[in-house]
Amino acid sequence: MTDKKTSNQSQNNANQAAETEVAFGKGLDVGTANLAAAVQNNEGGITVTVERNAFLDIPSDVYSKSMLTKLKVPYIVHNGKLVVIGEAAFELANVFGRETRRPMCDGLISPNETDALPMMKMIISKILGEPRTPGENCYFCVPAPSLDVDNNVVYHQGLFESMINKMGFTAHAINEAHAVIFAELADNDFTGIGLSFGGGMANACIAYKSIPCVSFSVARGGDWIDKNVANVLGCPRSKAAYIKERGIDIRDPKTREEEAVAIYYRSLISYVLQNIKARFESGQNMPSFKDPIDIACAGGTSLVGGFIEVFREEFAKIDFPIPIGRIFRSEEALTAVAKGCLVAAAIGES
C-alpha cells in the first residue's frame, strides 16, 4: 500500500503528516460473529485485531465482583449490571453454561437486543482505538440487501456511520464482499467475484476494475448451519457450532452429526452459486468479461475442511454463464474483510 501524498517530501510539514495519516485510515469489519479492525503497522504490514461480537451481563453483587476479579476478567458496569465483552464473555459463558448475548443477528443490528449499540460501541472502541488524527478515515463493511429476507441495511449502515463519526473518524461504508475483492484480487486489477461466508450471512460482489456491478446477500451463514444442524439432531446450537468448528472435513463426514453439517454446507454453497448465476443471467448491470475471472472466498464459515473442494464440486454441477479462472479461499479467511476495508481506505475508494 502506498500513499500518494508521501512522495512529495518538500511539503513534509505537520499538516502534511496529518493528511497522510488521514489518507491511510483504518478498516473495520462489522460482523455478526466477530468484529475486526485493521491498521497499517510500523513495519508496513497490516495488524488485524479481532473480538467476538458478544457480551455477558452478570448481577452486580459482591460475590460476582470478587469472582470476576479472581478470574482476572475485565468488566464494566452498565445499567447496574456487570458486563463482560468480547472473547472474555464467550469464555465465561462456556464456563458457566450460559449463552452470550449477541448484538447482531443475520448480518444486521439485532432488533431484539436493546443493549446492542452501547455494547458494540465498547468493543469497536477497544479494537479500533482512537483516530490518529481528527477525522481519520475509517472504512467499515455493511452487507448488501438480502435476496431472501426483507432486511433494512440502510438503518444498520446509518447507525454505524454515526457511531464511527462520533468516535472522531470519518466513516465510509463499503460492501462486505467488495472488501473481499480489495483484499484478495489486487493482482487481477480488482476484477472478479468476492464472497464472504460469515456467521449471519453470505455476501457476494462482482466487480470490474474495482467498480462493483452486482452485490447481494443471503441471510444464510454459519448461524444458519448451526440452527439447522441443531434442529435435525435435537441438540443445542452451541453443540452444532462446536461440531462444525472442531476440524471436520465436509467431503468426508465421519458421524451422523458431521453428515448433517456437510449437508447444510453443500446446500449453502449451492444456494449462493445458483443466485450468482441467476443474477448474471438476468443481465442487469453486468459487464462482459473477456477473460476468465477469479472467485475469492473468505469469512469464518469458509474455514471448514473441504470447503473449497465442495465449492468446486457444486460449481461444476451448474452451467455457470461466464468463464471462471481460479476458485480459492483467502489465506486469512477470518480477517480478509477487515483487510479489504483498509485497502479501500488506502486507495480512497468511496
Ligand X SMILES: Nc1ncnc2c1ncn2[C@@H]1O[C@H](COP(=O)(O)OP(=O)(O)OP(=O)(O)O)[C@@H](O)[C@H]1O
- The 202-221 contact track toward ligand X, x by CB under 6 A, reads -------------------x
Judge whether 50 and 34 are in contact, CB under 8 Å. yes
Which one of residues 25, 103, 131, 299 is an interface residue with ligand X (CB under 6 A)?
A: 299
Which one of residues 28, 183, 304, 345 is an interface residue with ligand X (CB under 6 A)?
A: 304
Judge whether 286 and 276 are in contact, CB under 8 Å. no
Question: Residue 28 has which C-alpha cell?
Answer: 473495520
Report the largest interatomic distance among the alpha carbons of the chain, rounded to a whole angstrom: 68
The amino acid that residue 261 corresponds to is: V
Phi, psi of 234 (to 5 degrees): 65, 40
* Sequence-ordered list of residues with C-beta below 8 angstroms from that of 238, at least 6 positions apart, any chain: 99, 226
Which one of residues 300, 330, 340, 345 is an interface residue with ligand X (CB under 6 A)?
A: 300
Q: Which among 64-72, 116-124, 148-156, 198-206 is the span making contact with ligand X, rule CB under 6 A?
A: 198-206
Does residue 198 interact with ligand X by CB under 6 A? yes
Which one of residues 205, 334, 338, 343 is an interface residue with ligand X (CB under 6 A)?
A: 334
3-state secondary structure of 10: helix
Does residue 199 interact with ligand X by CB under 6 A? yes
- The 99-138 contact track toward ligand X, x by CB under 6 A, reads --------x-------------------------------
Q: How far is the CB of 108 from ligand X (least distance, A)?
A: 8
Sheet holding 293-298, edge to edge: 211-218, 202-208, 192-197, 293-298, 324-329
Residue 3 binds which one of Mg ion, ligand X, none, with CB within 5 to 8 A depending on kind? none
3-state secondary structure of 319: coil
Q: Tell me which residues touch ligand X (CB under 6 A).
A: 29, 31-34, 107, 176, 196, 198-201, 221-223, 241, 244-245, 299-301, 303-304, 334
